[in-house]
């Protein structure tokens, strides 16, 4: 009875000493990371740093004397750049938040897995402690006393040493599993905190975009509320529209000659059906129709060559029909714009569509698009007082009322 009590005490003391030494000599916790997700977040962070630098440069440009000396439309072009950049930052932040959501799920799974490993190691440890308590030193002595020779004794000593090393590994594994759990929990909390920072930054940038839209819109309104400037604006807008149409006509003719030169028949991929789909959300929300517009105060007449479709900033703009992109550029009046040639329709007429005041363009000249493909995003660039899509349709180089073909 006394021997068993001594063995129990010795086993407990040995376990305590071993656990104490392991606590101070434990291996550093393993950090599990979701490499692909984290790599995407790192890429977006690098992109964000570049956007931040561009934002500072534009802000510095706005604060210069040269900016104050610019004409209103030149100022509007700079403000357009600022709005576009803010839109890109917002998109960057939204993508980052999406990747953080994936990363949080992965971190939560890592915590669950680490907790499972910890429970498993704890159970192994507890079973071993019970074995040591029940057998302990007496069991080791019995193994040694039962040896039949000196060589057998050495072999049994090696066997006991292996058992003790296995016990030591069990303690190490338990401590390591615990550290892994704590590391996984800490990483999860860090990821959640970083996600919250991104949400706050998103709110900040969205507010900035609203202020920038208002500032840019107010600039154009100030022109429209001055009779002389309104007439100048109309003259410039008309000249821009005529020049734009000439450029479109030239590109249509160039495309036709190129297709003839290579002797290729237009395929359905680049030929429109003649039935146009709405290019942006807001079927029943046309804020300005095709035709003559009259200034409510100065009675200045303007020819409006398309329709304005009210839509939120950043909304998708889609190709109204299949065709080939013949222009994707910036103009002081139209802002960022895209022109698509749809070839000949069922009536044998050449059809082109124009999409203006975009916040971003997703296609370039020469690209082919299918009906309904996203080609850009709604914005307020150029001569625009608020987010909307200006949409034009030309039949045989003559601009017509788009609503007749939608």
Query: What's 292-319 look like in SS3?
Result: EEECCCCCCEEEECCEEEECCCCCEEEC
Burial zone of 289 (CB within 10 Å; 0-12 exposed, 13-18 middle, 19+ buried): middle
Our CA angle for 309, 310, 313, nearest 5°, is: 120
Are 210 and 75 within one domain? yes
Mark whether 256 and 202 lie in a shared domain. no
218 with 249, same domain?
no
- Residue 230 lies inside a defined structural domain of this protein: no
| pLDDT score of 104 more than 80 | yes
148 domain-assigned: yes
Quick check: is 183 in a domain? yes
Average pLDDT over residues 258-266: 54
389 burial (CB, 10 Å; 0-12 / 13-18 / 19+) is buried
**Same domain, yes or no: 249 and 204:** no
Show the CA angle centred on residue 52, arms to residues 316 and 313, nearest 5°. 20
Q: Which phi-psi region, left, alpha or beta, contains residue 263 (left: φ > 0; alpha: ψ -120 to 50)?
A: left
Query: What CATH number should be reported for the domain holding residue 284?
Result: 2.70.70.10
Domain termination residue (choose one: 162, 191, 222) = 222
Q: Are residues 189 and 245 located together in one domain of the fold?
A: no
pLDDT digits (tens, 9 = 90+) for 308-361: 999 999 999 999 999 899 999 998 889 999 999 988 777 667 899 999 999 999
Same domain, 335 and 215: no
User: Do 25 and 154 lie in a common domain?
Assistant: yes
Asked if residue 297 has pLDDT above 70, the reply is no
Examine the domain organization and report whether 180 and 274 are in the same domain. Answer: no
Q: Which residues contact 183 (CB under 8 A, 6 or more apart)?
A: 29, 30, 31, 114
Spatial contact of 343 and 318, defined as CB atoms under 8 Å apart: no
CA separation for the pair 91, 71 (Å, rounded) = 31
The answer to whether position 341 is within a domain reads yes
| 349 and 209 within one domain | no
pLDDT reported for residue 388: 94
In a domain, 227, yes or no: no
**Run of H or E residues at 46:** helix 35-62
Place of tokens 């129990």: 8
Distance CA 238, CA 252 (A): 21
Claim to verify: residue 274 and residue 390 sit in the same structural domain: yes
Contacts of residue 20, defined as CB under 8 A and 6 or more positions apart, other chains included, come to: none
Position 121 in a domain: yes
Q: How confident is the model at residue 202 (pLDDT cuts 50, 70, 90)?
A: very high
Residue 345: per-residue pLDDT: 72
Give which of 396, 352, 145, 366 is closest to 258, Cα–Cα.
366
CA 308, 380, 199, 91 torsion: positive or negative? positive
pLDDT for 133 equals: 56
Expressed as residue numbers, the domain containing 58 is 2-222
Query: What's the mean pLDDT in 101-121?
Result: 86
Residue 7: what pLDDT? 45
Greater model confidence, 337 or 237: 337
215 and 257 together in one domain: no
Structure tokens at 403: 């609503």
Choosing from 164, 187, 222, the residue where a domain stops is 222
Q: How far is 114 from 159, CA to CA, in rounded Å?
A: 32
Contact 37, 99 (CB under 8 A): yes
Question: Which range, of 35-44, 200-209, 236-245, 261-270, averages the lowest pLDDT?
Answer: 261-270
Residue 92 lies in a domain: yes
Nearest CA to 317 out of 364, 276, 278, 368 is that of 278
Within a domain: 231: no
Are 196 and 243 in a shared domain? no
Confidence grade of residue 164 (pLDDT, cut at 50, 70, 90): low
Q: Could you say which of 178, 197, 222 is where a domain stops?
A: 222
Q: How many domains does the chain have?
A: 2
């Amino acid at each position: 009875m006394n021997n068993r009590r001594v063995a129990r005490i010795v086993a407990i003391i040995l376990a305590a000493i071993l656990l104490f030494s392991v606590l101070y000599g434990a291996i550093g916790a393993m950090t599990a990371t979701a490499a692909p997700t984290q790599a995407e977040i790192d890429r977006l962070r690098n992109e964000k740093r570049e956007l931040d630098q561009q934002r500072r440069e534009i802000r510095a440009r706005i604060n210069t004397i040269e900016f104050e000396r610019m004409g209103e439309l030149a100022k509007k072009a700079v403000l357009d750049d600022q709005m576009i950049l803010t839109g890109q930052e917002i998109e960057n932040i939204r993508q980052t938040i999406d990747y953080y959501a994936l990363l949080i799920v992965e971190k939560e799974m890592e915590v669950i897995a680490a907790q499972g490993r910890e429970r498993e190691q704890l159970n192994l440890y507890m079973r071993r402690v019970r074995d040591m308590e029940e057998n302990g030193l007496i069991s080791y002595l019995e193994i040694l006393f039962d040896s039949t020779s000196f060589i057998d004794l050495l072999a049994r000593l090696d066997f006991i040493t292996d058992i003790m090393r296995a016990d030591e590994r069990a303690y190490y594994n338990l401590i390591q599993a615990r550290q892994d759990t704590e590391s996984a929990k800490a990483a999860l909390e860090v990821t959640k905190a970083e996600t919250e920072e991104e949400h706050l930054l998103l709110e900040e940038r969205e507010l900035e975009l609203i202020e920038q839209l208002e500032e840019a819109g107010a600039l154009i309104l100030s022109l429209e509320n001055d009779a002389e400037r309104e007439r100048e604006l109309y003259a410039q807008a008309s000249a821009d529209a005529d020049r734009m149409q000439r450029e479109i006509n030239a590109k249509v003719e160039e495309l036709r000659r190129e297709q003839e030169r290579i002797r290729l028949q237009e395929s359905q991929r680049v030929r429109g059906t003649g039935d146009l789909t709405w290019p942006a959300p807001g079927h029943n929300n046309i804020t300005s129709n095709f035709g003559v517009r009259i200034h409510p105060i100065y009675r200045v007449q303007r020819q409006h060559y398309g329709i304005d479709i009210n839509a939120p900033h950043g909304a998708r703009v889609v190709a109204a029909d299949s065709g080939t992109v013949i222009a994707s550029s910036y103009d002081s009046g139209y802002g960022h714009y895209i022109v698509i040639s749809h070839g000949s329709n069922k009536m044998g007429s050449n059809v082109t569509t124009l999409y203006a005041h975009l916040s971003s363009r997703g296609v370039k000249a020469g690209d082919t698009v299918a009906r309904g493909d996203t080609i850009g995003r709604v914005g307020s660039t150029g001569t625009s007082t608020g987010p909307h899509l200006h949409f034009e349709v030309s039949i045989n180089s003559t601009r017509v009322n788009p609503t007749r073909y939608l």
